[in-house]
Every structure is written in structure tokens, then in C-alpha cells.
């Protein structure tokens, strides 16, 4: 069978940037940045992206291209090539599992976004009060049927796209959705500048308040950077498999990380001016975009229309991430269980649907089931973000830094082993990344 590769380097960059840009950029980043020192947090975040994010994206793409398979088999192939422990495939398997678990709640949250998109279209937000949006959101969480409906629809859409393969499915989707997402974002930014309190939003997000920086802030910035760049979920290794030999991994990694970061910053600049113009507080949690933002839009000229555009933008962002989260599991089924793409995608879609029930019911029917004080939805988020992702990234760094021969990694990047950029990358993989990740991990559990 001929090797499947991206139609162009541009297609790879779009797909990987589409995977990176998601709910994490548009909702989570602006809020966390605002609450943790604004500009000072942004600086630390950018440092994390440059120092750890870009080198890790390079490593994942490299593992995918050289290992030429799904993440588990890619690790296995490379371990064989470098004659190291045959257990390394577990590092890849862990990432596949992490991505699939993230997807099981990601589709549920995306379902909320779709629900709110329709509210915006049907003019529910005009002059709406915070009590009403509160009720709207809570009613949604209390209705398993409604949530299940949206999640099912989204899973079917993902299955449909991924089943069509890289060229007909993934590429065609990102070619349309990613540029559309960027256009919508610019439109919203202009709207926010014209109709919102741009000054105040800008100040909130970029004024560096160094006194708000604590040790915890650095860890938050690092965790946010991993999640936002889609590191350690198997997606980048998977997409790396389809990268051609003449693609400069350093260059594409830089573009992917820069796009993701710029989108996060623009999202903040579009959201906060709208929130501030309407005298609302940039409050915590999922409530910012589902409760406060609709109230803000409802008080502004053409608010419903722009609220609709906002939620549509989020749907595009989340959807291109969701298909990237599904692809590794599907390809694992194809390669390890010998299934056809259509069969593998359908089977994964079904398992995903069952798993998504855990998140859906955790807000209503099963809300009494708690583990360590968390419901199932929170548990999934916690286990993936705070446990599986750091461990996955740690394995990548150790494998690439200590197990892959220098000559091979340097060759793959097109550098000599003496090159300063290569040396810095290797130093980061060997020392900086493992130490930083272990520190986050321990502190997340309050051990240091």
C-alpha cells in the first residue's frame, strides 16, 4: 500500500494548527491569563511555549515521521530500531488513551457550544439577564437527553469525517474550517474594538501585574501550554506519520505554536472588551462564555448575530480538535487489529459514545457519584490533564533525549549535531523538559 502523506506542507500545518486551536485557546486561556497577572502570565506562557512547547512538538512530529505508525506502534518501531526496551510502546499507548479520554468529554463541552449557538440564532440572548443565562446553562446540564443529542450528533460528524481518511476527510475539513475560524475571529475582534471597552480588555489581559505571579502560576502556564498545543495526546505523532521527509520539522513546529498562541491572544482581546463594556466580571469556570458572555452580547447592537458568530467560531475550533483526537485511536485499530478505516472509525465512535455518557450523566443522573470529591467529568479532566499528559510528555522527552541516537535526530531535523539550535533542543529534551514536568506533576498533587 502506498504511504499516505499530506497533500502539502501547508495541509499539515493547517491540520496541526486546527488540532491545537480549540476550546483551550478561546475560553480557557483568556480567563486564566486574566486571573493570574494578565501580561505577566502571558509572558510566562509564551516562555513555556518557546522553551518546552516548540521542542516537544518537534519531538512528537519526529517520532511520528520516523516511527511511521500510530503512536503505540511508532514507539515500538523506534525502540526496535534503537535496540531499547520493548516496553516503550506503552508510552505511545498511554497517549492514545489520553487523547481518547479527552475526546469523550470534549464532545460534551462542544455540545454545550452547539446548544448555545442555536440559542443565539433564535434570539434568546436579546436583553437577557444573568439569572436567565444561569438557568439556561443549568437546565442544559440537568437534561441528559439534550446533552446526549448534541454529543451524539458531534460524534457522528467526527466519525463521518475521519472515516473518509486524511485527504477526503481531515484535510477538506480543516481547509474550510480553519480559515473560517480565523475570519470569524477577526470579525469579532473588530466588533469588540468598536462596540466594547477595548482599552479595559487590553489592560486586563496585557498589563503585567508581577505581584499576581506565584509558583503555581508558572505551573498553570505550563499545563495550559501543553493542553493548548495538544502535546502528549498522540495527535501530533499521528499527524507526523503523514509528514514528508522534505518538510522542515523545526519550521512547521514554530508555525503551529505561533498560530496557537496568536489565536489565544486574539481570543482574549475579543472576549474581554465585550465582557467589560457591559459591566460584567470576568468570572471563573465554564460560566464565562455560557453565562456572562451571552448577557454581554444581549446588550450590544446586533448582539445575537455576533454571539452566533462567536459560538460558530468555537464549534469550528473544537471540531478540528475533535477529529485530531479521534485519529490516533482509529489508526491504532486499523494497524493493530487489521480493521478497515470505516470499520475502525465506526467502532471507535461507538466506544466514544458510551464513554461520553459518563461525562453527560455526571451532571445529572449520576451527579451523586464522586471520586475524591470530583464527579466523573471532573475526574476525566483531572486524570488526563494532570496525570496522563505530563507522564506522556515526560516519556517523549526521555525517549527522544536519551534513547534516540543523536545522529538520527539531527539528520531528521536537517541539522548537524554541532548546530546550536540542535544542541539547545537536545538539552531541553534531556534536562529541562523532564525536570520541569516532574515539578509540575509533584506540585499538582501538593507534594512540593
Binding residues vs ligand TRP (CB under 6 A): 19-20, 22-25, 99, 102, 227-228, 230, 233, 235, 321, 324-325
CA 155 – CA 157 distance, rounded (Å): 5
Q: Which of 110, 299 has the CB closer to ligand TRP?
A: 110
**CA 22, CA 313: separation in Å to the nearest integer?**
10
CA dist., res. 125 & res. 167, Å (int): 39
User: Is the Cβ of residue 25 or residue 252 nearer to ligand TRP in the bound state?
Assistant: 25
Residue 85: alpha-carbon gap to chain centroid: 31
| Integer Cα distance of 402 and 328 in angstroms | 25
- Closer to ligand TRP by CB, 59 or 228: give it: 228
Three cell numbers written together for 134:
444561569
Residues facing 371 on adjacent strands: 374
Cβ burial, residue 367 (10 Å; 0-12/13-18/19+):
middle
Q: Is 371 helix (H, G, I), strand (E, B) or coil?
A: strand
Looking at beta carbons only, is 144 or 286 nearer to ligand TRP? 286
- Under DSSP, the state recorded for 82 is T
Q: How far is the CB of 412 from ligand TRP (least distance, A)?
A: 22
- Least distance from ligand TRP to the Cβ atom of residue 210, Å: 26
324 vs 426, beta carbon nearer ligand TRP: 324
In the complex, minimum distance from the CB of residue 231 to ligand TRP, in angstroms, rounded to a whole number: 7
Q: Which CB atom, from 314 or from 428, has the smaller least distance to ligand TRP? A: 314
Smallest gap from residue 325 Cβ to ligand TRP (A): 5
Q: How far is CA 331 from the centre of its chain?
A: 20
Dihedral sign for Cα 377, 89, 56, 414, please. negative
Q: Are 421 and 415 in contact (CB under 8 A)?
A: yes
C-alpha grid cell, residue 304: 445575537
Rounded Cα gap, residues 206 and 85, in angstroms: 47
The 10 Å Cβ neighbour count of residue 75 is: 28
Dihedral (Cα; 272, 273, 274, 278), 10-degree rounding: 110
Nearest approach, Cβ of 87 to ligand TRP (angstroms)? Answer: 24
Q: Which of residues 276 and 319 has its CB atom nearest to ligand TRP in the complex?
A: 319
Q: Which is nearer to ligand TRP, 95 or 292 (CB)?
A: 95
Q: Say if residues 15 and 161 touch (Cβ distance below 8 Å).
A: no
Task: Please identify, using beta-carbon distances, which residue of 195 and 220 lies nearer to ligand TRP.
Answer: 220
Amino acid at each position: 500500500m502506498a504511504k499516505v502523506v499530506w497533500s502539502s506542507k501547508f495541509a499539515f500545518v493547517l491540520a496541526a494548527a486546527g488540532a491545537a486551536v480549540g476550546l483551550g485557546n478561546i475560553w480557557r486561556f483568556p480567563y486564566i491569563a486574566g486571573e493570574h497577572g494578565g501580561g505577566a502570565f502571558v509572558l510566562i506562557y509564551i516562555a513555556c511555549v518557546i522553551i518546552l512547547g516548540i521542542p516537544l512538538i518537534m519531538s512528537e512530529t519526529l517520532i511520528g515521521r520516523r516511527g511511521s505508525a500510530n503512536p503505540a506502534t511508532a514507539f515500538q518501531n523506534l525502540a526496535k530500531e534503537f535496540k531499547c526496551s520493548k516496553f516503550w510502546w506503552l508510552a505511545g499507548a498511554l497517549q492514545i488513551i489520553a487523547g481518547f479520554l479527552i475526546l469523550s468529554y470534549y464532545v460534551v463541552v462542544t455540545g454545550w457550544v452547539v446548544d448555545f449557538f442555536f440559542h443565539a440564532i433564535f434570539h434568546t440572548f436579546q436583553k437577557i439577564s444573568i439569572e436567565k443565562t444561569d438557568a439556561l446553562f443549568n437546565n442544559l446540564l440537568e437534561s441528559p437527553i439534550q446533552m446526549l443529542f448534541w454529543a451524539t450528533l458531534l460524534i457522528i460528524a467526527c466519525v463521518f469525517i475521519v472515516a473518509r481518511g486524511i485527504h477526503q476527510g481531515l484535510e477538506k475539513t480543516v481547509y474550510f474550517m480553519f480559515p473560517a475560524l480565523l475570519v470569524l475571529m477577526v470579525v469579532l475582534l473588530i466588533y469588540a474594538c468598536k462596540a466594547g471597552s477595548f482599552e479595559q480588555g487590553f489592560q486586563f489581559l496585557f498589563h503585567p501585574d508581577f505581584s499576581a505571579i506565584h509558583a503555581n502560576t508558572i505551573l498553570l502556564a505550563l499545563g495550559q501550554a501543553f493542553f493548548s498545543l495538544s502535546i502528549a495526546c498522540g495527535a501530533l505523532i499521528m499527524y507526523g506519520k503523514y509528514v514528508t521527509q522534505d518538510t522542515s520539522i523545526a519550521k512547521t513546529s514554530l508555525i503551529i505554536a505561533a498560530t496557537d498562541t496568536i489565536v489565544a491572544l486574539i481570543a482574549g482581546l475579543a472576549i474581554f472588551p465585550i465582557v467589560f463594556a457591559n459591566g460584567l466580571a470576568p468570572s471563573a469556570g465554564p460560566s464565562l462564555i455560557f453565562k456572562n458572555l451571552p448577557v454581554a452580547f444581549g446588550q450590544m447592537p446586533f448582539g445575537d448575530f455576533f454571539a452566533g458568530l462567536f459560538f460558530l467560531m468555537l464549534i469550528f475550533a473544537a471540531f478540528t480538535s475533535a477529529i485530531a483526537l479521534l485519529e490516533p485511536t482509529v489508526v491504532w485499530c486499523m494497524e493493530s487489529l487489521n480493521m478497515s478505516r470505516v470499520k475502525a472509525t465506526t467502532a471507535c465512535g461507538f466506544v466514544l459514545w458510551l464513554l461520553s455518557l459518563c461525562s453527560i450523566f455526571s451532571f445529572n443522573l449520576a451527579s451523586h457519584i464522586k471520586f475524591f470529591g470530583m464527579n466523573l467529568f471532573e475526574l476525566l479532566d483531572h486524570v488526563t490533564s494532570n496525570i496522563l499528559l505530563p507522564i506522556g510528555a515526560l516519556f517523549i522527552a526521555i525517549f527522544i533525549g536519551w534513547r534516540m541516537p543523536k545522529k538520527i535526530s539531527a539528520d531528521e531535523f536537517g541539522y548537524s549535531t554541532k548546530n546550536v539550535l540542535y544542541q539547545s533542543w537536545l538539552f531541553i529534551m534531556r534536562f529541562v523538559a523532564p525536570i520541569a514536568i516532574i515539578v509540575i506533576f509533584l506540585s499538582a498533587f501538593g507534594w512540593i
